């Protein structure tokens, strides 16, 4: 149906006859001539229709051109010639196609929006097929496609084996809720959609496959936001006989190569490394954005003897923290803006936000200054590096909570005061805690997942020091986004059983839920480790968009709906009966 793509017609084709196919981007009837911007996935070319006096065929051609509307699907035959008025905005702007034949392959109905408009997200998702025609969306989808292709080439060339794992699998506790699928042939029993291929890839290592990868679809029934979807795509990788540094060095080289190939970005020759404890202390986050130079400063030692009870209580608590964040130039903040910062901190658990504001002339504006002597106050300002024109925010309370909300303020201040440097800031975060305490459940939960190896090999040591145990987990962070997470795995069945026990999973429950894994570890499991990268998130970063929905062809809304297909939707009673499911009426 075509000899060339619209966006690739250039001066080398001048004088030649071409056949094109695409959509009517714009059609302009200027009376004596018609111009059609014909668009396909490669771009736009101008098609010109010039009627010849006394020529019935050209008059009919002009009539067809004059009838065209937005997004009509056309096949055009014509001769390429040089344009009199060059359009530098188009790749094809030095040429045009003089039409000799136009066939309307399909007329388009009146559009809910045009390809060059940017409607609301609900409209975009309802008419996703129109949204995806927009050049910006085409660009972002192409970025994703190039990313996946480059990853496959890179791994295939290095002896990784692309192995599929099941989509219908067993429900296992991995953090989020499972999506459940009723098993028709086994009434009352259910499959689960995989939250990740974690256990299968470990079993592949036991089975002797030295290097595995998969572009894997994963499913988690969790609350949605801009960087989360119910179903998402991972690059899943696993290596046998490796330590942490082996995995990190390999994937670091891979990410440098991929970013160069896909978006022509040179990532750092060596990614910096930082422990989880250091990241939380300096940045209040386990995925710090190093493009923002602001850091948190601990001030507990300077305020523990002050007369401000909020500070003294936290400063004298072994699990407490008092941290300061200096914002250069922040004295310009009004009281209302300071209240906005306090409200933002409250979203992350802050019960209040103290501050010291220093005017350009050194005048102090602070609700907490009265709790300090002159010398102690001066020492505090010196310790945090505050100068005229700055504001310093203070957070006090439990260590984790203070780190969280002060880290959130750091990000807010970095963006609002234009303190985010250009470029790319990759980072390895290592030495995560093995467990964290769940106050509600009154038990430990795994910070990564239950299959992450502890840094210690001795089970008695792990049991005795569970509260402070460090894991062999690691995350790759890029510009404040966790793009990959991995670990060295537990390969000994006795250690795996001990970790289950510390997580409150008894021997009987462990056997019921993870018996297949424990059995596999008993039959000569090699030391192994791996990592999984979020394809959607990396593609979004490469494409320069805040939302992963822009790089997923058919995403769900934050309300977990597919507006185009109207999913989820009710199921007929006979279908439910086949899978032995009854739907209870909603309780009013």
| Residue 502 · residue 467 · CB < 8 Å | no
Q: Is 548 annotated as a binding residue?
A: no
Contact assessment for residue 292 and residue 425, using Cβ atoms and an 8 Å cutoff: no
**C-alpha distance from residue 453 to each of 202, 492, 500, 540, 547 (Å):** 13, 9, 12, 31, 33
The closest alpha carbon to 23, from 36, 9, 10, 4, belongs to: 36
Cα separation, 490 vs 501, in Å, equals 14
Does the annotation place 490 within a ligand binding site? Answer: no
| Tokens 């085409």 found at | 138
To 10 degrees, the CA torsion angle through 263, 267, 269, 270? -140
Q: Is 535 annotated as a binding residue?
A: yes
221 is in an annotated binding site: yes
Question: Is 537 a known ligand-binding residue?
Answer: yes
Q: In the beta sheet, which residues pair with residue 219?
A: 231
| 449 marked as part of a ligand binding site | no
Please, which residues have CB within 8 angstroms of residue 455's CB and are 6 or more apart in sequence?
431, 434, 469, 470, 471, 472
CA distance 133 to 139: 10
174 is in an annotated binding site: yes
DSSP 219-267: E-B---BTTB-SEEEEEEEEEES--HHHHHHHHHHHHHHHHHHHH----
Helix residue ranges, H only, 474-579: 493-502, 507-521, 535-543, 573-578
Q: Is residue 102 annotated as involved in ligand binding?
A: no
Write out the E strands in 361-439.
364-365, 391-398, 426-430, 435-438
Q: Is 220 annotated as a binding residue?
A: yes
β-bridge partners, 364: 358
Say how far apart CA 42 and CA 261 lie, in whole Å: 20
Please enumerate in sequence order all residues whose Cβ is within 8 A of that of 186, keeping only pairs 6 or more positions apart, or say none: none
Alpha helix (H) residue ranges in 127-210: 128-131, 135-156, 198-206
Tokens of 172: 């296992």
What span, in angstroms and rounded, lies between the C-alpha atoms of 247 and 447? 20
Residue 229 annotated as part of some ligand binding site: yes
Is 149 known as a binding-site position? no
387 is in an annotated binding site: no
User: Binding-site residues for ATP, please?
Assistant: 220-222, 229, 482, 534-537
User: Binding-site residues, please?
Assistant: 174, 220-222, 229, 448, 482, 489, 534-537
User: Binding-site residues for L-aspartate, please?
Assistant: 174, 220, 448, 489
């Amino acid at each position: 149906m075509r000899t060339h793509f619209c966006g690739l017609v250039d001066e080398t084709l001048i004088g030649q006859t071409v056949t094109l196919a695409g959509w009517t981007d714009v059609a302009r009837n200027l009376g004596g001539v018609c111009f059609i911007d014909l668009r396909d996935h490669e771009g736009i070319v101008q098609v010109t229709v010039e009627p010849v006096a006394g020529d019935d065929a050209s008059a009919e051609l002009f009539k067809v051109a004059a009838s065209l509307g937005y997004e009509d699907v056309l096949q055009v035959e014509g001769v390429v010639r040089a344009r009199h008025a060059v359009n530098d905005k188009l790749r094809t702007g030095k040429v045009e196609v003089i039409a000799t034949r136009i066939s309307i392959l399909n007329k388009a109905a009146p559009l809910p929006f045009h390809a060059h408009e940017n409607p609301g997200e609900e409209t975009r998702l309802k008419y996703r097929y129109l949204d995806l025609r927009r050049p910006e969306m085409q660009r972002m989808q192409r970025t994703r496609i190039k990313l996946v292709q480059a990853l496959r080439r890179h791994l295939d060339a290095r002896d990784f084996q692309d192995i599929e794992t099941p989509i219908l699998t067993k429900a296992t506790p991995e953090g989020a809720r499972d999506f459940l699928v009723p098993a028709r042939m086994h009434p009352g029993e259910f499959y689960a959609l995989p939250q990740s291929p974690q256990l299968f890839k470990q079993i592949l290592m036991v089975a002797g496959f030295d290097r595995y990868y998969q572009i894997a679809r994963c499913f988690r029934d969790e609350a949605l936001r801009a960087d989360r979807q119910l179903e998402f795509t991972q690059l899943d990788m696993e290596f046998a006989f490796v330590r942490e540094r082996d995995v990190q060095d390999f994937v670091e080289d891979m990410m440098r190569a991929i970013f160069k190939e896909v978006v022509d970005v040179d990532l750092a020759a060596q990614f910096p490394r930082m422990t989880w404890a250091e990241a939380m202390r300096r940045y209040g986050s386990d995925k710090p954005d190093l493009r923002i130079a602001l850091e948190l400063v601990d001030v507990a030692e300077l305020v523990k003897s002050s007369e401000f009870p909020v500070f003294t209580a936290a400063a004298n608590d072994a699990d407490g923290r008092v941290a300061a964040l200096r914002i250069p130039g922040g004295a310009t903040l009004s009281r209302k803006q300071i209240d906005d910062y306090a409200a933002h901190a409250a979203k992350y658990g802050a019960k209040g936000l103290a501050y010291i504001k220093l005017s350009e002339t050194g005048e102090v504006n602070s609700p907490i200054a009265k709790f300090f002597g002159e010398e102690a106050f001066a020492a505090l300002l010196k310790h945090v590096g505050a100068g005229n024109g700055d504001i310093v925010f203070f957070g006090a309370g439990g260590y984790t909570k203070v780190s969280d909300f002060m880290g959130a303020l750091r990000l807010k201040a970095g963006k609002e005061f234009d303190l985010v440097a250009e470029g790319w800031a990759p980072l390895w975060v290592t030495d995560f805690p093995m467990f964290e305490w769940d106050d509600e459940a009154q038990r430990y939960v795994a910070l990564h997942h239950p299959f992450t190896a502890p840094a210690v090999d001795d089970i008695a040591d792990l049991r005795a020091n569970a509260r402070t145990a460090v894991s062999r987990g690691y995350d790759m962070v890029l510009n404040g986004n966790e793009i990959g997470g991995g670990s060295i795995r537990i390969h000994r069945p006795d250690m795996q059983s001990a970790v289950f026990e510390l997580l409150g999973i008894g021997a009987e429950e462990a056997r019921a839920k993870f018996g297949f894994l424990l059995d596999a570890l008993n039959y000569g499991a090699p030391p192994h480790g791996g990592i999984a990268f979020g394809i959607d998130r990396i593609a979004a970063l490469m494409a320069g968009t805040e939302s992963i929905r822009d790089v997923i062809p058919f995403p769900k809304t934050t309300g977990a709906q597919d507006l185009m297909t109207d999913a989820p939707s009710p199921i007929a009673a006979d279908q439910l009966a086949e899978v032995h499911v009854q739907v209870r009426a909603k309780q009013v």
